[in-house]
Structure 1
Amino acid sequence: MRQVYVILAFMFCFSCKNEKTKSDIEGTWKMIYAETKQGDSVDIKDLSSTDFIKIINASHFAFINQDYNSVENFYSGGGTYKYQDGQYVETLNFTSVEPIRNHEFPFTIKIIRDTLIQKGLEEVKAADIKREIIEKYIKVNEN
């Protein structure tokens, strides 16, 4: 009987541990949901005709959005990031939007199995941006 309690205690402690290391966020991630709250409005991104991919390696990130039906709606960006204890800060070094270039965007990241959830406030006064985002990604099979 004591063995059952020991096993249950071990399983409980193991399942509670949700600390993720930097290597846990590395990989290729496909967006499956995006919500933007700005003022009183909420916008849910229509992903039915687009692929939005985020790639994170040991020191950099990049995102790519490609509309299936038009080359006009392609956009991308990237830069460096810092990650520690679920806090993820992107510095957007590469973008065609000058007011947000080299701006830091702080987010909270949570990883549940193959899903990455990114939440945060994007605020850039020079670009008149102040919005809360929630983005969900699934990890792309790397085999």
Structure 2
Amino acid sequence: MKRKFLTIACSGLTVLTGLSSCSTETKKASLVGTWQLIAATATENDSTYSTFSPGQNMIKVINDTHFAFLNHPAGGTGDSTQAFSAGGGHYTLADSAYTEHLDYFADKAWEGRSFDFVIEIKGDTLIQKGVERIPERGIDHIIMETYKRVKD
């Protein structure tokens, strides 16, 4: 009976990090889908600032083994090729520890690196928090991104 309750609790997963008894496979199933970025911040040297602008349009697509993201300014008639970015790769997930292994990115200095995050899923919201560090580029900050699940 206790096992059935855990299965029900896992399938109704609301907080990814709060149910450590749920299998990684159940959590991975909750993560799979298309996500629209709705907020993003970075923290450097005790200063937190928004890295998301209302004119930004970014999605992240996650399947069982890989992720990809596409980002560009929304609307407008100007040339957005300079502002477009995309990347992707494979990921690992253990409980709430989510690591992106960036195999492809518009900026080659980011490729071949891994970034560790803690993720939390609350209903149709995904919160991803972790460190981006590329010493040779002077990048060393904590990021937090909030996504809403895209419905069909």
TM range (shorter): 0.7 to 0.9
* 2:98 counterpart (88, 111, 121): 88
Offset from partner CA, 1:53-87 (integer Å, 9 cap, x none): 11101111011111023412111111110011011
Q: Show structure 2 runs of 5+ residues with no match.
A: none
Which residue of the partner structure matches residue 138 of structure 1? 148
TM-score scaled by structure 2? 0.78
> RMSD between aligned alpha carbons?
2.1
- Alpha-carbon deviation of 1:40? 3.5
**Percent identity over paired residues:** 34
Which residue of the partner structure matches residue 58 of structure 2? 52
Tell me the distance in 1 between the aligned counterparts of 2:29 and 2:66. Answer: 12
**8 Å contact 2:70–2:85 — kept in the other structure?**
yes
Tell me the distance in 1 between the aligned counterparts of 2:128 and 2:73. Answer: 22
* 1:115 counterpart (103, 125, 145): 125
Aligned length: 131
Most deviating of 117-126 and 132-141: 117-126
Higher-Rg structure is: 1
Runs of 4 or more consecutive aligned structure 1 residues displaced over 3 Å after TM superposition: 13-20
Tell me the distance in 1 between the aligned counterparts of 2:51 and 2:137. Answer: 21
Q: Show structure 1 runs of 5+ residues with no match.
A: 1-9
TM-score scaled by structure 1? 0.82
Matching of residues 20-35 of structure 1 within 5 Å: 21-35=27-41
